[in-house]
Amino acid sequence: MRTRKLAVVGGFEFTPDVHSDHRGLFFSPLQDEAFVAAVGHRFPVAQTNHSKSAKGVLRGLHFTATPPGQAKYVYCARGKALDAVVDIRVGSPTFGQWDMVTLDSESFRAVYIPDGLAHAFLALEDDTVMSYLVSSAYQAELEHAIDPLDPEIGLPWPNHVEFRLSARDTIAPRLAEAEAQGLLPKYADCLPAGPPAAPAVHPDQSEVRTRD
């Protein structure tokens, strides 16, 4: 598992080893040891989500009110997408900055999005399937959106794609408007509390096998 820090504080990219043979392939998108080594704590999975999108579908920028917040671990199980992460945490040293990662069903790289970051992706192929691990259950009243085409953020979406947005995302406020409305999370409220948890221990196994 290879890791890379994103341009926003607390965000990471993870690229697993993909094992292929005549049967197909196998990979492990989330690996506890690598995640803890990079992030400093374990990922608390509370729910898994799955979406399928046609080419041109742009979902986001979405975030959850903090507290309680919601962290995400996202990868592309099928197809190809541009995945964007924007720091909207008021007081963050990287406030307003973003990073973008190509997620696809060849590299199977994943993106970790901690509390307080806004997330969006653009499907570049039909039937693009995105898989999410999230740290809290969905609560509609806590979910917010920011205009993914906000020129002040300046995400470099490709200009040859005809965007397909939901009604909610079409009318979402720009970043400055959301800040003025008091919707944005505060950086201090998004920091993890307590010491990092150790990886799981397997006392009866000298080697933990993950590949069939």
Question: What CATH number does the domain containing 63 carry?
Answer: 2.60.120.10
Residue 209 lies inside a defined structural domain of this protein: no
pTM value > 0.85? yes
- pLDDT > 70? residue 67: yes
Residue type (1 letter), 165: L
Round to whole Å and give the CA distance between 45 and 107.
23
Round to whole Å and give the CA distance between 50 and 44.
17
Residue 202 lies inside a defined structural domain of this protein: no
* Active-site choice (19, 41, 50, 62): 62
What average pLDDT does this structure show over 121-127? 98
Q: In which domain, by residue range, is 109 found?
A: 2-189
Round to whole Å and give the CA distance between 175 and 144.
11
**% of the chain with per-residue pLDDT over 90:** 89
What average pLDDT does this structure show over 35-62? 97
- pLDDT > 50? residue 197: no
- pLDDT > 70? residue 196: no
Round to whole Å and give the CA distance between 173 and 150.
9
| pLDDT confidence bin for 176, thresholds 50/70/90 | very high
pLDDT at 110: 98
pLDDT at 70: 96
Residues pairing with 112 in the sheet = 12, 73
Q: Average pLDDT, whole number, for the chain?
A: 92
* Catalytic residue check, 160: no
Residue 212 lies inside a defined structural domain of this protein: no
- Whether the CA torsion 36, 5, 18, 43 is positive or negative: it is positive
Token code pair at residue 123: 């499907």
| pLDDT confidence bin for 192, thresholds 50/70/90 | confident
Give me the count of residues in the chain: 212
What average pLDDT does this structure show over 93-115? 97
Residue 211 lies inside a defined structural domain of this protein: no
CB 112 within 8 A of CB 11: yes
What average pLDDT does this structure show over 67-84? 97
- pLDDT > 80? residue 201: no
* Catalytic residue check, 112: no
Residue 200 lies inside a defined structural domain of this protein: no
Token code pair at residue 161: 């794609």
What average pLDDT does this structure show over 103-107? 97
* Active-site choice (19, 22, 50, 132): 132
Name the domain count of the chain: 1
Residue 151 lies inside a defined structural domain of this protein: yes
Q: Residue 148 to residues 59, 64, 151, 163: CA-CA distances in angstroms?
A: 8, 15, 9, 11
CB-neighbour burial class of residue 156 (10 A; exposed 0-12, middle 13-18, buried 19+): exposed
Residue 125 lies inside a defined structural domain of this protein: yes
What average pLDDT does this structure show over 161-171? 96
Dihedral pair phi/psi, residue 149, rounded to 5°: -105, 15
Token code pair at residue 17: 């080893």
What average pLDDT does this structure show over 153-179? 96
CB 150 within 8 A of CB 118: no
Round to whole Å and give the CA distance between 62 and 44.
20
Residue 10 lies inside a defined structural domain of this protein: yes
3-state helix, strand, coil in the chain (%, to 5): 10, 35, 55
| pLDDT confidence bin for 193, thresholds 50/70/90 | low
Whether the bond into 61 is cis, omega within 30 of 0: yes
